[in-house]
Amino acid sequence: MTKTIGILTSGGDAPGMNAAIRSVTRAGIAKGYRVIGIRRGYQGLIEGDMFEMNVRDVSDIVQRGGTMLFTARSKEFMTLEGQQAAKRSCDNAGIENVVCIGGDGTYRGALDLSKQGVNCIGIPGTIDNDISCTDYTIGYDTALNTALVMIDRIKDTEMSHSRCSVVEVMGRRAGHIAVNVGLATGATEVVTVERPYNLDDICAKMLSQKATGKTHFEIIVAEGVGHSSEIATYIQEHTGIDTRATVLGYVQRGGAPTCLDRVIAARIGCYAVELIDSGAKNRIVAVKNNKLVDYDIVEALAMTKNYDEHLHRLLDSLSL
Ligand code: F6P
């Protein structure tokens, strides 16, 4: 009997998810598997919203942002009844393996589904890069570069008006996007959850830089800190410098994936199929020092990731 791989994307979409779907589909078919695309993540699985994919179904998606399989955050799947319904859908479609593309929430879903007896392989796909077991998540590089381009544009107008820009970037609770784009765009300061901050110190830093001739400023605020409008008001009131807040928002989640995201997605997708083919059960694929590795789902969920404090200190040392 032909073995079957289901694929789903869950949680926030990320550029490069399509490239991963393409890779899993084609690598799976090449190894003799039937490949089933499951729409709208675990919710679609519960509802049996799925279709068999052939190699042409994944043509011309490698360069596209978003996910051709759609995505969802399913409340129903968080219940045992939902998980049992998902297992029934797998049985009805003959799916023994599901490749689950997404972040931590997706892996918790994969763990629940695995407890119902379905083999689940997780692929890291989120712009936040906040999955502990991996150095890198699909979509992160694209989001960094999108935020970078947007901030460069804000800088043009901030410079022309001699203003301060407070720019809020995504990342859920993590400051990885914030500190990287902060360093890459020459920010005055980056405010993240991971490092305690003091708005009076930031104002004092701006005023001392102004005294040496600096005319415009950029403060990057991580989504987890939030309150970018209040921060902008505080800065304006305490420095006298005209300050505007911009929340970059969902623009960071869309767009064509970068070369790095496409290449990583292709590698990880293929690796996931090789894992299934080797008989591995319930693993998460991760990137460690540019090598692909895999961990048990429970082990992966228990890991913690360090914030790059060195990068933040480097930004401090260069923001003069
Ligand atoms: O995980 C990706 C992400 O864009 C986070 O940066 C953000 O906190 C969250 O998703 C937003 O989720 P939603 O699409 O539910 O608004």
**Which of 40, 128, 138, 180 should be mutated for ligand 1, with most atoms under 8 A from CB?**
128
Q: Which atom of ligand 1 is nearest to the CA of 252?
A: 4
Q: How far is the CA of 118 from the centre of ligand 1 (A)?
A: 27
Geometric angle at alpha carbon 96, from 45 and 276, rounded to 5°: 115
CB 121 within 8 A of CB 272: yes
Instruction: Please tell me the predicted confidence (pLDDT) of residue 270.
Output: 98
Could you tell me the strand order of the sheet in which 4-9 lies? 50-53, 34-38, 4-9, 97-102, 119-124, 283-288, 291-296
Instruction: Determine whether the shortest distance from the Cβ of 12 to ligand 1 is under 6 A.
Output: yes
Instruction: Please tell me the predicted confidence (pLDDT) of residue 106.
Output: 98
In the chain, the DSSP E strands lie at 4-9, 34-38, 50-53, 97-102, 119-124, 164-169, 189-191, 217-222, 243-247, 283-288, 291-296
Residue 187 in tokens: 């920010």
Residues 6+ apart with CB under 8 A from 273: 5, 23, 24, 27, 28, 31, 33, 99
CB 77 within 8 A of CB 46: yes
Instruction: Please tell me the predicted confidence (pLDDT) of residue 2.
Output: 74
CA distance 230 to 189: 16
Instruction: Determine whether the shortest distance from the Cβ of 172 to ligand 1 is under 6 A.
Output: yes
Nearest to 42 by CA among 130, 136, 110, 118: 110
Q: What separation in angstroms does the CA of 237 have from each of 114, 216, 232, 240, 260?
A: 54, 16, 9, 6, 42
Q: How far is the CA of 71 from the centre of ligand 1 (A)?
A: 12
Q: What separation in angstroms does the CA of 180 have from each of 185, 206, 312, 319?
A: 9, 20, 8, 14
CA distance 118 to 111: 9
State the residue for tokens 């490749």: 99
Residue 263 in tokens: 């290449």
CA distance 13 to 126: 7
Instruction: Determine whether the shortest distance from the Cβ of 170 to ligand 1 is under 6 A.
Output: yes
Which residue has a Cα nearest atom 10 of ligand 1? 12
Across the 320 residues of the chain, what is the mean pLDDT of every consecutive 10-residue run?
A: 92 98 98 98 98 98 98 97 98 98 98 98 98 98 98 98 98 98 98 97 98 98 98 98 98 98 98 98 97 98 96 97
Instruction: Determine whether the shortest distance from the Cβ of 253 to ligand 1 is under 6 A.
Output: yes
- pTM of the predicted model, to two decimals? 0.97
Parallel, antiparallel or unpaired: strands 164-169 and 217-222: parallel
